[in-house]
Structure 1
């Protein structure tokens, strides 16, 4: 079965701004998704039911706050660092629940980000990084968790889990 991906969904103003940047700067032939904060990259697809149950439990709390911070140069792209201690704590709780299923990449995740450009020439990435570097941090809230099925490029939405108000 195709693997599952878990993301955090930001509030509308931040999400719209990041989507616009991604559409403008991500190579169109590779851009199958809106901007997103990936929490888990590859959970086993056959465990969709327990993963969904864990996400349902996880959103029964106040929505975590987040700050979209300075852009980071990825070499061949640009991502915004996301400072969200509450979201990292929630992710750590989920990682304990998903423990035996985690890949090395998902076990080692310590920082959150939103990629707005990838797989471009290094000079193009440096130019975008320089253009975005003066932007002030943007306060936002995480409004939901998203569950997706990875289809070898495009992702197929499975469910969205809004945080309790």
Structure 2
């Protein structure tokens, strides 16, 4: 998995929400912004090199634009033109390796609740969206993760310069 890394304050806030509202038996990793869900493990060196090259850029702001109801969970919607360009370039590079899920239109978000009863999700959505005001967080780099059959392990972080 490839993720966008956020500034420490944003990461702590989203982690706190995820700890509070995500079923603990399913919460195997910190809050995150997934850019790609699955890439071939046998291409790890190439993927790592491509991520390193993509990180040769300045940090940028990401707008947190709203709260999204997922049916059985809640997420914060994100938007940044720089993120769209960055992800599109990596997708073009990795085109033959992408799963159907990763070939779809990317809709960046941070999931803070999932796999709960729809009424529980609706209640959290209503609470979080009642006083939501859009704001910006800082993107600080890219993360590469390996799935370990439940939990995930960070393979590498590539900070923006």
TM-score between the two structures when normalised by the length of structure 2: 0.97
In 2, Cα distance between equivalents of 1:144 and 1:64:
9
In 2, Cα distance between equivalents of 1:161 and 1:83:
21
Q: Residues 23 and 115 of structure 2 are in contact (CA less than 8 Å); yes or no, is this contact kept in structure 1?
A: yes
In 2, Cα distance between equivalents of 1:28 and 1:110:
27
Which position in structure 1 is the counterpart of 2:72? 76
Q: 1:14 aligns with which of 10, 13, 28?
A: 10
Identify the range of structure 1 (117-126 vs 66-75) with the bigger mean alpha-carbon deviation. 66-75
List gaps (5 residues or longer) in structure 2.
none
List gaps (5 residues or longer) in structure 1.
none
Q: Deviations over 1:16-56 (max 9, x none)?
A: 11110000000001001110000000000110000000011
Q: Residues 68 and 74 of structure 2 are in contact (CA less than 8 Å); yes or no, is this contact kept in structure 1?
A: yes
In 2, Cα distance between equivalents of 1:110 and 1:80:
14
Q: Which secondary structure does the structure 2 equivalent of 1:48 belong to?
A: helix
Q: How many residues align?
A: 160
Q: Which secondary structure does the structure 2 equivalent of 1:76 belong to?
A: coil
Segments of 4+ moved more than 4 angstroms:
none
Q: Residues 14 and 138 of structure 1 are in contact (CA less than 8 Å); yes or no, is this contact kept in structure 2?
A: no
Deviation at 1:147, TM superposition (A): 0.2
TM-score between the two structures when normalised by the length of structure 1: 0.94
Which position in structure 1 is the counterpart of 2:157? 160
Aligned ranges 1:41-60 → 2 under 5 Å? 41-60=37-56
Q: Residues 78 and 115 of structure 1 are in contact (CA less than 8 Å); yes or no, is this contact kept in structure 2?
A: yes
In 2, Cα distance between equivalents of 1:85 and 1:75:
27
